[in-house]
Chain A
Amino acid sequence: MADHPVSPSSSKTEALAALVSEFGAEHLPDAADGIAGILVDRDSWLELARQLRDQEDLRFDLLVDVTAVDWPDRQPRFEVVYHLWSLTHNRLLRVKVGVPEEQAECPSVVLVWGTANWHEREVFDMYGVRFAGHPDLRRILMPDDYPYHPLRKDFPLEGVDNSVSYRNEGGVLMTQELFVDRPAGQDPTPVDRSKGDPQGYSDGAAPADES
């Protein structure tokens, strides 16, 4: 039998507790998978991320996954969820950062973990959460000119007929209104992309010049 490393031990160490109290974060209740979680304020998240990676007792050197969860009835609406893995100590940690809908922006951790680049692009693509300081915040899975953020809860599963309308009323729209009944026999107006993006198109609520 080969020698086994320690099985993933709980991440609730003293170093983590000290960091949590220093940055005013809070512990999350125990999850079914036994992974410790903390809830972090987005203003302190970047600095906390650095500490999580660099402190000798923590060393969360591998960012496993970044995603977001949309809670339309909650405040803040979005929850960006990071899963960290310390290869050094073989521990897992879940970090949640709340992001309100009005200013859907979160600090980018690309400078801490390089892998966050594509993960954050995906979260931006799917939820419209922008990452401040991201070097290249483009859509990744959906087409570049796609006007919606499809994993938001108010986006219908069937999709919306965006061949008809590229209207964008005050930021994001994903409502049933977009199921426009097309007059019979009339083809949708072809969108001429040679002269730039269709009119009214923008990525989301936040202005585009921030990234």
Chain B
Amino acid sequence: MSRSVIPPSEGGGFLPKYGAAVATPMVKRRQLNRNERWFFVPFAKALLYTFTRMFKRKITRQYPEQKLEAGASFHGLPVLVEKDDGSPRCVACGLCEFVCPPRAIDIVPGEIDNEIERAPKEFVIDMLRCIECSYCEEVCPEEAIVMSKDYELVGRKREDFVWDLPKLLRTQESLRDRLEFVRKTYRRWDENAEIAPPPSGVFRDPAWAGRERPNEGH
């Protein structure tokens, strides 16, 4: 059985002979000019460019000395929110355990003697498995698990990374930023939410108005 190949197109292949293709500009292929062939001028230009970079703003951080300043939207390690009396808000419903894509959460529910009736007996997050996707936070119906700003994770053995209740619990005060962010973001389209919606026109901020934009489309 011989291989039958589609006959090659005549003329320029770039023309939209194909219905799916659009008439498009060709990229400019150029020959090297004399300077470039001699190599010295581009070499000097590149060297000069690199030299001037020394006096520009630095992008990198000197990490252990300079810490990353995490904002409210940052996904750090997930932690549990505690009530004013120090017990977890969690009611051990198991929704985060279900949704967790890498199966990092492990809950053992227990019963307690008040009107809520349920609390986690054990709540374990394996931080080595956690991918910080924030799905647990999104599905939690009690605002009990949120993403903290912690991103440093060190330990000497694997057990150090399996966090249990005492290690996971944080006060509401220390998580205030994130809790507000959660309430705002997961308000979604609901106008009766507890936080007032952002003022209209916020996306046309004055800092941008009137600035020249090169290569504008419309």
Contacts and interface: CB of A to CB of B under 8 A. Distances in A.
Chain A in direct contact with chain B (Cβ < 8 angstroms) = yes
B150 to A, nearest CB: 32
A50 B6 CA distance: 11
Interface in A1-29: 2-6
A165 interface: no
A61 interface: yes
Interface residue tally on A, bucketed by range: 10 to 19
Contacts of B20: 5, 85-88, 90
A88 B6 contact: no
Contacts of B1: 111, 133
A101 B6 CA distance: 34
Nearest to A112: B4
Interface residue tally on B, bucketed by range: 10 to 19
Contacts of B3: 111
Interface residue SS majority, chain A: loop
B55 to A, nearest CB: 41
A87 B15 CA distance: 13
Interface in A58-114: 61, 85-90, 111
B18 to A, nearest CB: 4
Contacts, number: 35
Contact of A90 (B17, B19, B23): B19
Contacts of A2: 22-23
B22 A3 contact: yes
Interface in B1-24: 1, 3-4, 6, 16-23
Given A111-B1, A133-B1, A5 B21 contact: yes
Nearest to B217: A1
A133 B6 CA distance: 20
Nearest to B1: A111
A143 B20 CA distance: 38
A208 to B, nearest CB: 21
A139 interface: no
A207 B13 CA distance: 45
B21 A87 contact: yes
A160 to B, nearest CB: 20
A121 interface: no
Interface of B: 1, 3-4, 6, 16-23
Given A50-B4, A53-B6, A90-B18, 16 more contacts: A2-B22, A2-B23, A3-B22, A3-B23, A5-B19, A5-B20, A5-B21, A5-B22, A54-B6, A86-B20, A87-B21, A88-B18, A88-B19, A89-B19, A111-B3, A133-B1
